[in-house]
Chains A and B, each alone.
Chain A
Amino acid sequence: MLKNQEFTLLRDFIYEKTGIYFAQNKVYLLESRLTSRIDELGLSSFEEYHYYLKYGGMKTEQELLALFDLVTTNETSFFRNPPQLDAFKIVMEKNYLNGYRPEGGLKIWSAGCSTGEEPYTLAILMLEMTSRMGRPIPFEVYGTDISMKALESARKAVFNNYSVRNTEKGILDRYFVHKNGMYSLADAVKKYVTVEFLNLIDSESYRKYKQMDVIFCRNVLIYFDEKGKKRVIDNLYQSLKPGGFLTIGHAESLHNISRGFKPLIFPGTIAYQKG
C-alpha cells in the first residue's frame, strides 16, 4: 500500500519533473502504475523508489524516462474528433493555402503526440489538401511526447485496427500498407513527420519549436494543475507565429488560463489564434 507520506513525496517529485499532477483521489492510479516497476527494480517500497529516482546517479535519468512512460496515458487514434480536423482544414484553406508562402514551409506541431496518430493524421490531411489544389506546398509536421515508449511506437508507424477505426477506406488504401492485420504507414507520409522527445513543462526544450503555424495540443492539459497549464500554454504561445493557431482538447478550456489568445468559433469547435 502506498502510504500518504510516500504518495506526497512521489507526487511532488513527479510534479516537479513533469508538471503532471496526481490529486489525492488518484492515489490508486499512481500506485497501480508504479507497483510493477518497483518490483522490476527489486525495490521494496515506494519510499525506496523515490530515493532511487532522486539519488540513483547515472540511472536516475534513465529511470525518469521510465517514470514518464508510466505516468502518461496513450489513448489516441487517427482522425480523432472530426470537427477539430475540419477546423484545421478551414484554417489551412482560408489562411495558408491561398497565396501564402511561408519561408521554409508550413510548420505544424502535435504537442503530446503519443504513438503518432495525430501528427500522421495532420500530415495526411495536408497531403490530401495540397494534392487536391494541385499545388505542392512545403510543410513539416513535428510530433513530440514525454513518453519514449510512445515515441518509439510512433517512429515504427505500424498501427492496429483500433487506431484506424475512424479512417476512411480511401485514406487507408492511399497511405497505408495492410498486412497481417496491421496497418503500416507509407514512407510518403512518414517523411513529412519528425517525432521527438519533449517535456512540455520545461521551457528550455521549446527552443527548437519556434515559428509554428499550427499547434495541436489535445487532451494534454488535463494532466496539469492550474499553474502547470498556464506554463504550458505560455510556452506554446511563444512557439507560435503571430496569427498562428492553437487547438486544445474538446473538453479542455483556456478560460482563466491565457488572455493572449483570441478564441475563434468553427462548426462544432473552437480554436485559439495568437494575437
Chain B
Amino acid sequence: MTMKKILVVDDSPTVRKLLGYVLRLKNYDVEEAEDGMDAMEKLSESEVDLVIVDLNMPNMDGISFVKSLRNSYYNLDLPVIMLTTTNDAEVREEAYGAGINMFLTKPVQPEILLYKIDSLIGGGA
C-alpha cells in the first residue's frame, strides 16, 4: 500500500519540521511548501492526499490558496485543514467560505490533529 502524502504549508520552517515529525511518526509521507504559491506549484507536480495550511504567509496566504485550489481544473476536491494561531470567528467563516474542510487552532495536540486527519483521509500506511 502506498503511503498517503500530506503537504504542509507554512512559512515557518520550525512549524513545518514539527508537523512533519508528527506526521511521519504515523507513516504519512510529508512534503513541505513555504507559502500558498509554492504549495500550488508543488500540487501541480505531485499527487497529494491532504493539505495542512497556515493562514498568514507571504506571496499567497492560506485563504487565497484555498480559493485558487477550489477554482482549479484538477485536484480541486483535495481535503484542506487550516491550522492557524487565529481563532477569530470571522476568519474562520471566511476560510470555510473559501472551501477548507476543517479549521484548527495552534497549538494543536498531536493526537487531535492525527485524529482529524484520520477522519478525513484515514490513517498512514
Contacts and interface: CB of A to CB of B under 8 A. Distances in A.
A256 interface: yes
A267 interface: yes
B73 A255 contact: no
A134 interface: no
Interface string A231-275: 000000000000000000000011110010011111111100000
A125 interface: no
A91 B74 CA distance: 12
B56 interface: no
A215 to B, nearest CB: 18
B55 interface: no
A94 B72 CA distance: 12
Which bucket holds chain A's interface residue count?
Answer: 10 to 19
A264 B71 contact: yes
A255 B39 CA distance: 10
B59 interface: yes
Given A255-B59, A259-B59, A270-B44, A265 B69 contact: yes
B104 interface: no
Given A265-B44, A268-B44, A269-B44, A90 B38 contact: no
A247 B29 CA distance: 29
A262 B71 CA distance: 10
B41 A263 contact: yes
Contact of A266 (B41, B64, B69, B74): B74
A265 B73 contact: yes
Contact of A264 (B38, B45, B60, B68): B68
A189 interface: no
A127 interface: no
Contacts of B74: 265-267
Contact of B40 (A90, A259, A270): A270
A91 B75 CA distance: 16
A253 B41 CA distance: 8
A263 B73 contact: no
Contacts of A263: 37, 40-41, 44, 60, 68
B75 A265 contact: yes
Nearest to B67: A262
Interface string B17-55: 000000000000000000101101101110000000000
B78 to A, nearest CB: 9
Contacts of A87: 73
Contacts of A269: 44
Contact of B73 (A254, A256, A264): A264
B44 A266 contact: yes
B43 to A, nearest CB: 5
Interface of A: 87, 90-91, 94, 253-256, 259, 262-270
24 contacts: A87-B73, A253-B41, A255-B35, A255-B38, A255-B59, A259-B59, A259-B60, A262-B68, A263-B44, A263-B68, A264-B73, A265-B44, A265-B69, A265-B72, A265-B74, A265-B75, A265-B76, A266-B44, A266-B72, A266-B73, A267-B74, A268-B45, A269-B44, A270-B40
Across the A-B interface, the 9 shortest Cβ-Cβ residue pairs: A270-B44, A263-B40, A265-B72, A264-B72, A267-B74, A266-B73, A265-B44, A255-B37, A265-B74
Given A255-B37, A265-B74, 10 more contacts: A87-B73, A90-B73, A255-B35, A262-B71, A263-B40, A265-B40, A265-B69, A265-B73, A266-B72, A267-B74
